[in-house]
Chains A and B, each alone.
Chain A
Amino acid sequence: DTGVSQDPRHKITKRGQNVTFRCDPISEHNRLYWYRQTLGQGPEFLTYFQNEAQLEKSRLLSDRFSAERPKGSFSTLEIQRTEQGDSAMYLCASSPQGAVAEAFFGQGTRLTVV
């Protein structure tokens, strides 16, 4: 399968715990995005990488959130001291270089904070 893959698909955690999600983009794509989606809403932008450089972070991304893409390939999103409001689907997408470029999404990681 050469699409975007995310791991884990589901995560249930207790409030206050740290969680880390992984995203493997399509191999030739140099752009990688993280989005968060809650029920009834469209995906909300969190952060964007071009190769290993994190070029933009949303105001939604509090200090408890950190993302890395150390070698310009896979990326991780860590949430520290999780809160119930962090419960959502976390979607990763990748796209090739280019002004008008389709973003391909992974199946997402569904986080439930109890």
Chain B
Amino acid sequence: RKEVEQDPGPFNVPEGATVAFNCTYSNSASQSFFWYRQDCRKEPKLLMSVYSSGNEDGRFTAQLNRASQYISLLIRDSKLSDSATYLCVVNTHTGRRALTFGSGTRLQVQP
């Protein structure tokens, strides 16, 4: 079983739609959680950190459920520029100190 699992998609949505991505992680010791965005043939870049209480950044909302080991990302009012791969990322802080990435979920926003 992969440490971080995501639905690969692609999610094809029209502009203005709301879309949600889910992610599960296997290591209950995981303590830090992030969503990264990766454009085609580019490096991953941090989209937002995910906090236990949930957090919002403009059109983006991230939620964490530690009991279910589940992370979500909600994008409201999708823009064409949101088309990218969204990577779910966890860090345990003990043992491995590097970020562990999911395989990513591809989003294509259509006009």
Of B11-19, B55-63, B93-101, the one with at least 4 CB within 8 A of chain A: B93-101
Chain B residue numbers with a CB within 8 Å of A106 are 43
Q: Which of A91, A103, A104, A108 has the most CB of B within 10 A?
A: A103
Q: Mark A80-96, 1 if CB is under 8 A from B, else 0.
A: 00000000000101000
Given B4, B46, B97, B101, which contacts A48 in the complex, CB threshold below 8 Å? B97
Q: Mark B73-104, 1 if CB is under 8 A from A, else 0.
A: 00000000000000100010100111111111
Q: Is A43 on the interface with B (CB-CB < 8 A)?
A: yes
Q: Is B45 on the interface with A (CB-CB < 8 A)?
A: yes
Given A31, A45, A93, A107, which contacts B100 in the complex, CB threshold below 8 Å? A45
Q: A102-B34, A105-B44, A107-B43 are in contact. Are A42 and B101 (CB under 8 A)?
A: yes
Tell me if A103 and B49 are in contact (CB < 8 A): no
Chain A residue numbers with a CB within 8 Å of B4 are 42
Tell me if B103 and A56 are in contact (CB < 8 A): no
Tell me if B44 and A56 are in contact (CB < 8 A): no
Tell me if B96 and A56 are in contact (CB < 8 A): yes
Q: Is B69 on the interface with A (CB-CB < 8 A)?
A: no
Tell me if B8 and A40 are in contact (CB < 8 A): yes
- Shortest Cβ gap from B36 to chain A (Å): 9
29 contacts between A and B (CB under 8 A): A31-B97, A33-B99, A35-B101, A40-B8, A40-B103, A41-B104, A42-B104, A43-B44, A45-B98, A45-B99, A48-B96, A48-B97, A48-B98, A55-B97, A56-B96, A91-B44, A99-B31, A99-B93, A100-B31, A100-B32, A100-B91, A102-B34, A103-B46, A103-B99, A104-B46, A105-B43, A105-B44, A105-B45, A106-B43
Tell me if B49 and A45 are in contact (CB < 8 A): no
- The residue in chain B whose Cβ has the minimal distance to the Cβ of A50 is B97
